[in-house]
A and B are shown apart, each in its own frame.
Chain A
Amino acid sequence: MTLRVLLVEDDRELCRTLKDAMTAEGYDVFTAASLSEAFALLTGLGARSANGAPVDMVLLDLGLPDGDGEQLLAALRQKHTVPLVVISARESDGQKVRLLDAGADDYLVKPFSIRELLARMRVGLRHRGTSVSPAVTRYGVGALNIDLGTHEVTLAGQPVHLTPTEFNLLARLVRSAGQVVTHRQLLADVWGAEFTEHTHYLRLYMAQLRAKLEDNPADPQLLMNEPGVGYRIVEPQG
């Protein structure tokens, strides 16, 4: 079955380019140039779809002629868990973090390459797929293997000892592998809601994790930092 993508973007040139690129990759693309058009399309598609989800993926621009894309995100998140990637020219990190916290799966700042967009879409789609099927419990990349069920972490076959906090932090990242998890989300999920401002905790524990898992902690290949936004563990292989 072809995956359906809703592209909400008011710039006609960019819209056509993206549509062509995605169509070439085999997606079924619907485009909307305004908020109202996007709402209408979602309603129409939702009525026709078998499982209630109007589309399989939403790409959302923020500055639209009749409102802000954030409104669509808020409305969509009340009903659906459909993956949503924000594409915007606004490079404010406060906004980036706010949108991610509000339920956006990813955020791409214009200009971006098609390759990067397609990669982010794949990550978003994979996560929605796994959230329906049993939760991911095993993660492997390079010589590293993590089993969330048994709390076992091995590096090149050797067990790695992690403290409970280190393991919780790693597990939280693994559950969103390939996606940025904001500082606030990590602090709230691992330490508790009252620690959301304590970013220095994160720095310390991320440094400890890197020291145990990375070859060169200053040149990480596994635990990536998105300055001012959050952390991301690279996508698993295979």
Chain B
Amino acid sequence: MIPLPGIDASADSWPAHLRRAGRALREAARSGTVAPMTDDEPNSPRRMARWPWAWAGLVWAAAWLLMLGLDRHIGLAQAAITLVLASALAAIWLPLVSSLLTTTAAVLAFDWFIVPPKHSFSIELSEDVLLVIEILVLSWVVTALLARGRVLAARARRSARHADQMRRLGDALRDAEDPLQRGEALRAALSDLLGQPARLLVLRNAAALPENDAASTTLGDPAPDELVGLWHCVRLCRAFGPGTGHEPELPALYLPLRGTDTEAFGAALIPLEANAPHEDDVLVQAQALCDQLGQLLHRARTQRQAESAHALAQSQAVRNALLAAISHDYRTPLAAILGAASSLKDQGAKLAPEQRERLTQSIMAETRQLSRLTDNTLQLVRLDAPGVKLNLDWESPDELAGAAIERARRHDPERRLKVWAEPGLPLVRCDAVLFSQMLENLIDNALKYSDAPAPVELHVRRHGGHIVFAVRDSGPGVEPAWREKIFDVFQRGDWRTGTHNSAAQRGAGVGLAVCRAIARAHGGELQLRPRSQGGSSFECWLREEAAPGVDDRVPAPGGQERP
């Protein structure tokens, strides 16, 4: 029935060797090889235990000296009072049972030595019998009361100490910055309480079950079998070991770090000396310390969940706003296409050839616009998704620039485009398709917002450890207030100064937003810089990286021309 360590144990089973170790310790204790602690105050050092006996002995010695020395001068009653006084004084230091036994012995001795007839337990006078009994009972009562008072005082001191300890742990947990420090704080508190170094298992997130070592931290180097026990304790969220009512033969105390009644966020193990009797309130205190960390972890998790739920709701809201913005952007070109096509269909015969030509041109241009919008939207959504993977390769900046210009020209051969690249640029590591999409968007944007015949230029240069792709226009420029906002997908409005270009009214949002997203996905940045002689320069900065070398010895002869 007992599993090996590391194998998921059935709910209530414990590793056999742990049980055996516990049994061995108990037997050793029984046979006397391990000294059980006898002090009723577990934390008091033993030397303190020796002194009470000395004091009590001193008191009794003085009392007997008095009683025997002054036997002829004092009466039986005075002697009896002296005995009761000595018994009361001795009870201040001695434990209850010892105190009762000494008192009983003292009363018997009193009977033997002092009550007539001396050197005999028989008592002459019947009133003396009553006196001896009364002395015995009185001494017992005084002793018991004093012992009880002492226990209560000790408990009150312990409670104060526990409260102080809780407060100190609370402070330490609050000040701690990571789970490791928090665990150390709890370990220190437990060691302080129980006098033994504790071992801890703390889950870094509550989803760590079952036994996911990567998502948990251990402190105090628990042995593999102890770790099994700790995981077991976490799973069942219940205390095990001596004094807990569960598995009392275990050699250690296992306490769950409870966040709620049913969920533990870790567990603590405190090795115990066999039979070491602990007050119930020490166990309660140890569990309370553990729960303090457990509740802290629980609160942290709840907070994390609330935050992620909030983030999710927010991203949902962003997505909805994006959809709304995009569907708005789709309607305009669709309206133009439908208008032109229906006009061609219904009025085709009445239209002049150049009017028909203009309508077909409009259909084609708007369709391209829709196509670009679709690409951009898809890319934006893709880049927004977590864990997006780029198809990185070594690319030549010249080629990227050239391909972007060529594609822009293919769509619109009339356009005035210039490209210039600094000679000897190093290769850049990027996703060619994404990067080309960014450059085409920027070129498209520049063409749209600047009027002919002012050219649009694509410059590629090296600058301070970066490769800078700059798309420059000589348009009217962007109002300072809009220079950051135009990269926001939801912003729209007439952000160009003094333009009458109706295209400016349309959201450039998705286009520029996706450009910035692409630049950032490459670890770069996209910025808008106003040009000194008017117009804008959209600049993508990419960090320069060392490209792999090329072996001049290749190609191999096999790489020669094929028929």
Contacts and interface: CB of A to CB of B under 8 A. Distances in A.
Interface string A211-238: 0000011111000111110000000000
A218 B419 contact: yes
A98 B375 CA distance: 21
A165 interface: yes
B398 A217 contact: yes
Given A203-B394, A228-B432, A220 B555 contact: no
B403 A113 contact: no
B391 interface: yes
The B interface, classified by DSSP as helix, strand, loop or mixed, is mixed
Given A218-B401, A227-B432, A192 B555 contact: yes
Contact of B563 (A91, A135, A192, A195): A135
A171 B561 contact: yes
B160 to A, nearest CB: 71
Contact of A218 (B371, B421, B556): B421
A191 B550 contact: no
A216 B563 contact: no
A218 B460 contact: yes
A218 to B, nearest CB: 4
A219 B402 contact: yes
Interface string B396-438: 1011111101100000000000111100000100011101100
A191 B421 contact: no
B562 interface: yes
A20 interface: no
Given A168-B555, A200-B547, A218 B367 contact: no
Categorize the interface residue count of chain A.
20 to 34
Nearest to A220: B402
A203 B375 contact: no
Contacts of B421: 217-218
A168 B561 contact: yes
A226 B395 CA distance: 12
Given A111-B367, A218-B460, A219-B419, A210 B555 contact: no
B439 to A, nearest CB: 9
Nearest to A217: B398
A200 B548 contact: yes
Contact of B391 (A192, A195, A228): A228
Nearest to B558: A192
A177 to B, nearest CB: 16
A18 B367 CA distance: 17
A157 interface: no
A192 B554 contact: yes
Interface string B302-332: 0000000000000000000000000000000
B560 interface: yes
Nearest to A211: B423
A227 B555 contact: no
A66 to B, nearest CB: 27
B27 interface: no
B559 A190 contact: yes
Contacts of A91: 375
Contacts of A203: 394-396, 399, 427
A101 to B, nearest CB: 16
Given A199-B393, A227-B436, A219 B405 contact: yes
B403 A227 contact: yes
A215 B419 CA distance: 12
Contacts of B399: 203, 206-207, 220, 225, 227
Interface string B530-563: 0000000000000000011010001110111111
B176 interface: no
B433 A93 contact: yes
A231 to B, nearest CB: 9
Contacts of B460: 218
A168 B433 contact: no
Interface string A162-195: 0011001001000000000000000001111001
Given A164-B555, A203-B394, A206-B399, 4 more contacts: A111-B371, A191-B555, A192-B558, A227-B432
9 contacts: A93-B391, A93-B433, A135-B563, A189-B562, A191-B554, A203-B396, A217-B402, A227-B432, A227-B436
**Would you list the 10 A-B pairs with minimal beta carbon distance, nearest first?**
A227-B432, A218-B421, A200-B394, A228-B433, A227-B436, A228-B432, A225-B399, A203-B396, A225-B403, A218-B398
Interface of B: 364, 367, 371, 375, 391, 393-396, 398-403, 405-406, 418-421, 427, 431-433, 435-436, 460, 547-548, 550, 554-556, 558-563
Interface of A: 91, 93-94, 111, 113, 135, 148, 164-165, 168, 171, 189-192, 195, 199-201, 203-204, 206-207, 210, 216-220, 224-228
